[in-house]
Amino acid sequence: MSQMESLWDAPIYGLNQSDKAELLLSRLNGLSQWHREHCQSYATLLESAHASVAANDYSEILPLAVQLFKQVRLSSITDDEVFKTITSSGTSGSKSQIILDRTTAALQSKALVKIMQSWVGRDRLPMLLIEQSNLIAQRSGFSARGAGALGLSFMGREHCYALDEQMQPNWPVIKAFVAAHQNQPVLIFGFTFMLWEYLLKPLMQQGVCLGLEQAIIFHSGGWKKLEHLSVSSEQFNRHCEASIGSSCVHNFYGMAEQTGSIFVSCEQGHLHCPIFSDILIRDPMNLAPCPIGKPGLIQVFSALAQSYPGHSILTEDMGLWLGDDDCPCGRKGRYFKVLGREPKAEVRGCSDTFS
């Protein structure tokens, strides 16, 4: 699919929204056509919804409800082409099964690296993962948590896993990492609740700061447990600075159903759409597109979903479209905010579902 070449060549956050949308829409229409021809379930959905595979804008692209991936095995490849299967998080009922071939897995990895390099640079940094070392041992099938940890681990080197087999801080490992890298840039990654529960909170209880002033901290996953603890994103960031030593903290939004397409928060706390992805906000009552500033359900688009029809998904997350091209951070394209789960939606964030 030649549309991807134009996307690879474009800057991650450097195109105006109108130019970016034109490029991405061409790819999304190509994917709609591809999946109609190779996935009978998707073809049936298109026909039932009287939806076109030649959309003129995002609002005309058929959105698949994220719950559908729990109910139907959606695949546009043959069984012998399956490279790995990603299993979504979720605390109840069935879980999404995301079918990947080698081409799609490679697209996801390449896109993730390009997105992350725009935030941390091209050099691979020493990396501390707030995880157990055995989480990503099985490569043929992953939970969303495992896939996320593996994807981000490619950005680092000299990986240290901060948690032991009992999900407790491995203090000798953590202290050795700090001693070796205290005066240089490092990368720290953890799912939101796990970073809070298994690193920040123990450090706060001890009154200790790691002193990693040049750390770049990335976290992702559900906020439900932190909401119950009355911890806001601003408080979370302040505790990162107090206990780790760095104020460079980036949250990112993503999901197993669109691995590789992540939306990273800038210095203003706004989530930005990279060249490979975009969002639309829809009214939960009638699914009409929402204007800037009106809350609604987030529809996410991805240029990477080639082995399964996941290029246009209606999530169960409420969000707010904040603007296009005018974020004070200087990045172009669409930026937005996640407000939380739709009231009746199940909790499914990667770190929320750890037990």
- In contact, 273 and 283? CB cutoff 8 Å: no
On whether the CB atoms of residues 218 and 129 are closer than 8 A, the answer is: no
Q: 9-36 burial, b for 16+ CB within 10 Å, e for fewer?
A: ebebbebebeebbebbbbbbbbbbebbb
pLDDT score of 227: 66
Q: Which residues, 6+ apart, have CB-to-CB distance to 93 below 8 Å? A: 70, 346
Whether residue 276 contacts residue 302, with contact meaning beta carbons closer than 8 Å, is answered with yes
CATH number of 3-78+266-341: 2.30.38.10
For residue 78, what pLDDT is reported?
96
pLDDT value for 256: 83
Pick the CATH number of 108-252 from 3.40.50, 1.10.10, 1.10.3470, 3.10.450: 3.40.50
231 vs 285: CA distance, rounded Å: 30
What does the domain layout of the chain look like in residue ranges? 3-78+266-341, 108-252
Q: What is the pLDDT of residue 150?
A: 64
- Closest by CA position to 178, among listed 227, 245, 223: 245
Strand 141-143 versus strand 84-87 pairing type: parallel
Split the chain (355 residues) into runs of 10 and give each run's mean pLDDT: 84 97 97 97 95 95 94 94 82 76 94 92 92 64 58 80 91 96 93 90 94 94 66 87 95 87 93 97 96 97 97 96 98 95 56 40
Distance CA 214, CA 74 (A): 43
Q: What are 12's two structure tokens?
A: 């991650």
State residue 354's pLDDT score: 41
The span from the CA of 131 to the CA of 152, in Å, is 12
Calculate the CA 243 to chain-centre distance: 25
